[in-house]
Amino acid sequence: MKKVLIMPCLDIKEGRVVKGVQFVNLRDAGDPVECARIYCENGADELALLDITATVEKRKTTLDVVRRVAEVTTIPFTVGGGIASLADAEAVLAAGANRVSISSAAYRQPELIEQAAVKFGSEKVVVAIDADRNPALPSGYEVYINGGNTATGIDAVEWAKQAEARGAGIILPTSKACDGAKSGYDIPLIKGIKEAVKVPVIASGGAGKLEHFLDAATEGQADILLAASVFHFGEILIQDLKQYLQDNGVATV
């Protein structure tokens, strides 16, 4: 039986952890360094840090925050937001990240995926896909870029396959409709991508209760379960989640 990993996500804006609903209506959730330290102590398996306004504001990831978080982080640490070139990716990795996550830049410059995979190794390259429902497309899901603000007309599952073919080591789909709504992960999106690729898939967007994580691991076949607000605001404790998953036949680390 495969083991699923638990991955809290720190969405960063102006140096603080924030969380919203459907990518808007953000509220403060704490200091990123303190959050990272607590998650490491409390049993998280992975950590994500996403500078959520970097791309829209046309700036680079805030490397100072990455460095400070890296100093207290004892688990694999993925950083995304504002990474638009090999040099950007190299700077983020040098600041202490274990992986880089690219989204809008990967869509605009698909060759960046290949270049990063060759230079750093596929295992360090995550391609994040923000998607929303569009019944006109084969999978029913459309890729969005620029922080989930701009529709592309491209099918999300097809794009995931292309990203894998170019060297992505992990695919991170986030459902715009489900993000922050706590109504459950978008299982058809996660499952559709998981069945189309061989690399690990991270479930993201919509966790609100323990059952949602179980659904993502079983029905969605996700390898890593990412969540933010339920962890940030103490609604679900990581150790309780792991016990629940184990009690329901899903192995954890």
Other CB atoms within a 10 A radius of the CB of residue 253 amount to 12
133: DSSP letter: E
Alpha carbons 217 and 226: distance in angstroms, whole number? 11
At residue 218, what is the residue type? T
Half-sphere exposure of 87 (CA within 13 A, CB side): 1
From residue 112, alpha-carbon distances to 8, 15, 61, 66, 130 in Å are 26, 27, 17, 21, 18
* Catalytic residue ranges: 11, 130
Which residues contact residue 67 at a Cβ distance below 8 angstroms, ignoring those fewer than 6 apart? 95, 96
**Token output for 147:** 């922080």
> Would you say the C-alpha torsion 112, 117, 119, 123 has a positive or negative sign?
positive
Q: Are 52 and 11 in contact (CB under 8 A)?
A: yes
8 A C-beta contact, residue 66 and residue 92: yes
Least Cα distance to 148 among 200, 104, 181 occurs for: 104
The helices-and-strands tally (H runs, E runs) of the chain is 10, 13
